[in-house]
Structure 1
């Protein structure tokens, strides 16, 4: 028991280091009001879904303004600017959820689904969106028949919270992500290949998501661990990749697990058995910065041209 208490203190100490070095403010959005999202019939077209989500976004903007939540209102106005956003889903209540598409899903042969980590909310959405846009532009340079889906489909934990040390939020998210991926397959061209790109706590989500054969690759980056000892323990037949930039503070967080706290083996450790990809000098929030080595590596995974930097297996 003394060992367990020491381990828990070590994990919490690592979290405290992160809190000092990397404070975030997403938790302020918990009480934001918004209308209940519109429910569409199962046979609704992509066009119908995009149009309805934009209508829901506009209604949430008005509700935020009426409630004096100027920060949220500004964030929603940025999301809906120009009326061109392709949102498969939108929920403006609380921390918020949104699923945005970049590219043409119906003609895409390769689809990257981007899963965010902690403190990603509608208030911080533009940071997440910028990464998705950069990835899409990089993919288009290699193959015009690609699409990116930015999946903020779960309540992300706060960076400084007890939930960020456990798999609870990830389990809830995985139960939603798995059927979403199955449904997404129906909107793409036949034989489309999916890649899950999973950042930070998002890698815990992906590692707990049961995937079908359409998901050919899963990339974990900036990961605290997955809760699993090895890549073979994950409920997927996809190739599993892992990368960490030399500037990422998460490498200093202990990769341990005890009594449901912590996330076990470091995914870039050879013992985990992932295919390690080059991430350059990326910091924790820099993996999708244009021109970076990590963005090139992630794009090559999606395009099917990636190589490992060292011996490994999925």
Structure 2
């Protein structure tokens, strides 16, 4: 780059500083800072690669029965599927109680005892999996599927469920034929550890998500509009599942990235989906400070590349207000209002940042 030498062009006479040099120096300093951040992150991951698996090996796994064998679920068998999964949760609660895990047992009892709870899937083993339905799935013409990020398990499920409840209440008040799916269909990575910075868990989860979305189309009908609302690491999962759905002829209408660390591709067009790709990040979301880069570490790709909020990524940016990392579905928030507009297909009404 040029240094602005000659004829005093661009020079601040009072300070004797070339403004172009000053700006370039700031850019270079910013790059060096981000580079140090990323190198420090890599170093931490190397340490975590040694420590975290050892700690996990000593952590007891919560016992539970195998999931109910439901076969292919249809609109006609939804009620039976819901009942079978509640019964499975009740048995899991008994086993967790015998194991001495009272917190897990209480969570599962709450799932089992309420006849209004609607689970398409339930697996209480280990960290646990659950797919819960809010609304009339068989009669819905708009479905929002929420995909969570790190540290979401049956033990923390209540906070994830609260986001689905908030969205469903907002949607149902405006359009009764909507359903919301809280999809905890994969073992999410922990915030502290190596898995959260690689695509490994996402690659494992993507076929499960694609299969679940295909099942939703089978129950509600092919004319149903389905939107994937993907939070944090969940956006990496969605980025892997969307092309598979497209290849199967089951594309989703919208792919919404919330507080995303990146998706593992450089541009929205690289996702190979016909869905409208949206990105939003709240003003108080710490994910903005995470380095958006990729690097090879011991044969594994670490990091997720381009920031989806970057113009270079090419997503449709929507305003998320002052939301923090976990606040995108807060009642009355700008982000919740925009998410509802996206799900309802009111794209012209979505506000932009």
TM-score normalised by the chain length of structure 2: 0.80
Q: What do residues 96-150 of structure 1 show as CA deviations (whole Å, max 9, x unaligned)?
A: 0000000011110100011000000000000000000000011112211000011
* Match among 181, 185, 189 for residue 157 of structure 1: 189
**Which residue of structure 2 aligns with residue 63 of structure 1?**
95
Q: 1:201 to 1:29 in 2, by over 3 A?
A: farther
Alpha carbons 2:254, 2:343 under 8 Å: kept: yes
Gaps spanning 5+ residues in structure 1: where?
Answer: 16-25
Q: Does 1:229 align with 2:259?
A: no
Runs of 4+ residues deviating >6 angstroms: 26-29
**Which residue of structure 2 aligns with residue 242 of structure 1?**
279
Write the distance in 1 (CA, Å) between the matches of 2:324 and 2:84. Answer: 37
Question: What are the residue-to-residue correspondences of 1:176-195 with 2, within 5 Å?
Answer: 176-195=208-227
Q: 1:30 to 1:266 in 2, by over 3 A?
A: farther
Higher relative contact order (CA closer than 8 Å, sequence separation 6+):
1
Write the distance in 1 (CA, Å) between the matches of 2:289 and 2:341. Answer: 27
Q: Does 1:305 align with 2:346?
A: yes
Q: What do residues 6-53 of structure 1 show as CA deviations (whole Å, max 9, x unaligned)?
A: 6752435898xxxxxxxxxx9998611111112123366111111110
Q: What do residues 68-103 of structure 1 show as CA deviations (whole Å, max 9, x unaligned)?
A: 101111221233342321000000000000000000
**Which residue of structure 1 aligns with residue 32 of structure 2?**
none
Choose 1 or 2 for highest CA Rg.
2
Q: 1:291 to 1:28 in 2, by over 3 A?
A: farther
Write the distance in 2 (CA, Å) between the matches of 1:306 and 1:68. Answer: 50
Q: Give the SS at the match of 1:124.
A: helix
Deviation at 1:271, TM superposition (A): 0.5
What is the RMSD of the two structures over their aligned residues, measured on CA atoms? 2.2
**Which residue of structure 2 aligns with residue 135 of structure 1?**
167
Q: Does 1:31 align with 2:48?
A: no
Alpha carbons 2:86, 2:113 under 8 Å: kept: no
Gaps spanning 5+ residues in structure 2: where?
Answer: 1-34, 46-55
